[in-house]
Amino acid sequence: MKKNMFFALCLGIVILLPNLSLAECTDLGGFTNFSLQGDNTVVLYSGSRPVASFDVQDCSVEPSSKVELIKSYVCDGEEILVDGSRCTIMEIKPLGP
């Protein structure tokens, strides 16, 4: 009976809160520069090696923009600074090993 309750609870959490179970996270603390792909997809690099890519919501990123981290370990839905404005990170994808 306890196994069934535990299973039902876990299933309920996964169904009701999919963002928590599917959120991607990565450490971006070592990035040195960035490039743009498309409209608002940012690719961060550590030297010449790509570290991660993500989309930004609520902001416009230009090649001359200043991209700053609020914290080094970030997940989908968290924020970064672009030209001093807070922007939401969406669909972060780690690219390196």
Assigned domain for 89 exists? yes
Q: Are strands 79-82 and 67-69 parallel, antiparallel or unpaired?
A: antiparallel
Assigned domain for 1 exists? no
- Residue 54 vs residues 24, 30, 50, 90: alpha-carbon distances, Å: 10, 16, 12, 6
pLDDT tens readout for residues 30-69: 889 999 998 789 999 999 999 999 999 888 899 999 999 9
Domain limits for position 88: 24-94
Assigned domain for 90 exists? yes
- Residue 7 vs residues 16, 21, 23, 46: alpha-carbon distances, Å: 14, 15, 21, 42
Are the CB atoms for 73 and 38 separated by under 8 Å?
no
Assigned domain for 35 exists? yes
Residue 16 has pLDDT above 60, yes or no: no
For 37, how many CA atoms within 13 A lie in the half-sphere containing its CB? 9
Q: How confident is the model at residue 21 (pLDDT cuts 50, 70, 90)?
A: very low
Q: How confident is the model at residue 10 (pLDDT cuts 50, 70, 90)?
A: low
Assigned domain for 70 exists? yes
Per-chain mean pLDDT for the chain: 82
Structure pTM? Answer: 0.72
Assigned domain for 19 exists? no
Taking the mean position of all CA atoms in its chain, how far away is CA 90?
6
Total domains, the chain: 1
